[in-house]
Amino acid sequence: MSTQITFFPVGNGDMTLIELDDASQTKILIDMNIRDSADDEANEDYFDVASELRSRLKNDSKGRPYIDVFLQTHPDQDHVRGLAKHFHLGAVDDYMEPKEGEQAKIIIQEIWSSQIVWRRADRRTGHTLCEDAKAFNTEAKRRVNLYKKAKKIGAAGDRIRIIGKDEDGKTDDLEAILTEVDKTFTKINEREMQMVEVYVLGPLQAKDVEDEDRLSKNHSSVILQFKIAAQPYGSKTNIFLCGGDAEVAIWRELWRKHQNAPHCLSYDILLTPHHCSWHTLSEDSWSRSKNPKVDEDAKSALSQAKRYAQLIASSNVIKDDDNDPPCWGAKKEYEAIAANVSGEFVCTGTKDQEVIEIALTSGGPQKSPKRASNVTLGAGLASSATPKPHG
């Protein structure tokens, strides 16, 4: 197995897996959107991401599938859907062996999540948490409370890392499991990593912006910059930037904050925020505004692409219409950013849904070789579509 990053085709939603070629073959899952029919064989409309994910996971010593880390960028359904169905929630001791015909639930050894993002999401008007988000919240609270009680970092399955300091001292007693904004960490699932460095760009805190209320009205997300080496002891030649659904105000603030040190925002691979939404780049509405303007600061924040960078949109197929997200106008902007560095803009939503896999090598990211699909694929269906009279 080599170090690689995989973007699963999940429509307008995010689901990204980072796999490290270290001794423990560490797996970091960023968000998930496992729609119901994705694990329903009878309905093949959706790509079966659950099986694709499972095929990449390893089992722990008791034969249970697990991921090292689940990063939850923000509590929208398209970033957490399928959690309760496919993942074990609660103490590992309560793990239930799968019943006949069921799939084993996946254990999350460590959670990364941000309280501040959750609180802001709560405050947003008209926003209600979906069932999976509620389940996640319960699980995150369980882990935080375990830490508060024991005052030490829990065992695998009880671990949590809080991203971003909350206001009013709400995270004050959580030092050991808290990573503040603008800090770098290298410990993943309680293992000190030589091959990964994670820099926390967001969620922005109230002190960073003039107007906390305004921030709350925008989608807030955990924003991380990963620097990843191909091998346990190599230089970190691959930079991945992901920012959930963070919107224009956030990116503008990030640019203002980091414009003198733009390397904080640089990337080889960018998961374009909010499924290629126009609102990442502009205050104006794509469909209602006659001449929607790009916010140059926000765009600058997302333009720190390195040579041959790849910009990934995790969304449905992007069409030239009024839809948003994904938005045709945003795609054009990202394509321009890519063109500047001879890079490429790619969307997970294509005709033949396939995962996008990028190897993270010591010489930087490397695309997968193109493979031919099955010779007879589709032939049977096509030839049985119409009656064939014989004389």
Which residues are bridge partners to 366 per DSSP?
Answer: 359
Q: Binding another protein by CB under 8 A: which of 152, 210, 351, 372?
A: 372
- Integer Cα distance of 302 and 97 in angstroms: 44
- Burial of 258 per CB tally in 10 Å (0-12, 13-18, 19+): middle
Q: Binding another protein by CB under 8 A: which of 68, 268, 284, 295?
A: 268
Nearer to another protein, 92 or 359 (CB): 359
361 binds another protein (CB under 8 A): yes
194 binds another protein (CB under 8 A): no
Nearer to another protein, 142 or 306 (CB): 306
Which of positions 325-354 make contact with another protein (CB under 8 A)? Answer: none
Q: Which residue pairs from 282-285 have beta carbons closer than 8 angstroms and sit at least 24 positions apart in sequence?
A: 282/248, 282/329, 283/248, 283/249, 285/324
**Residue 138: φ, ψ to 5°:** -60, -45
How many residues make contact with another protein (CB under 8 A)?
Answer: 31
Q: Residue 20 to residues 60, 93, 360: CA-CA distances in angstroms?
A: 16, 27, 9
Find out whether 198 and 109 touch, Cβ atoms under 8 Å. Answer: no
Q: Binding another protein by CB under 8 A: which of 52, 142, 306, 355?
A: 306
Residue 89, number of CB atoms within 10 A of its CB: 17
C-alpha closest to that of 343 among 298, 302, 373, 315: 302
Counting every residue written for the chain, the total comes to 391
Contact range with another protein by CB under 8 A, out of 164-172, 177-185, 327-335, 365-373: 365-373
Q: Binding another protein by CB under 8 A: which of 237, 266, 323, 353?
A: 237
Contact range with another protein by CB under 8 A, out of 135-143, 241-249, 280-288, 359-367: 359-367
Nearer to another protein, 85 or 236 (CB): 236
Least Å distance, CB 372 to another protein, is 4
312 binds another protein (CB under 8 A): no
Q: Binding another protein by CB under 8 A: which of 214, 307, 319, 332?
A: 307
Helix (H) or strand (E) run with residue 364 in it: strand 364-367
Binding site for another protein (CB under 8 A): 1-2, 21-23, 25, 230-232, 237, 268, 306-308, 359, 361-376
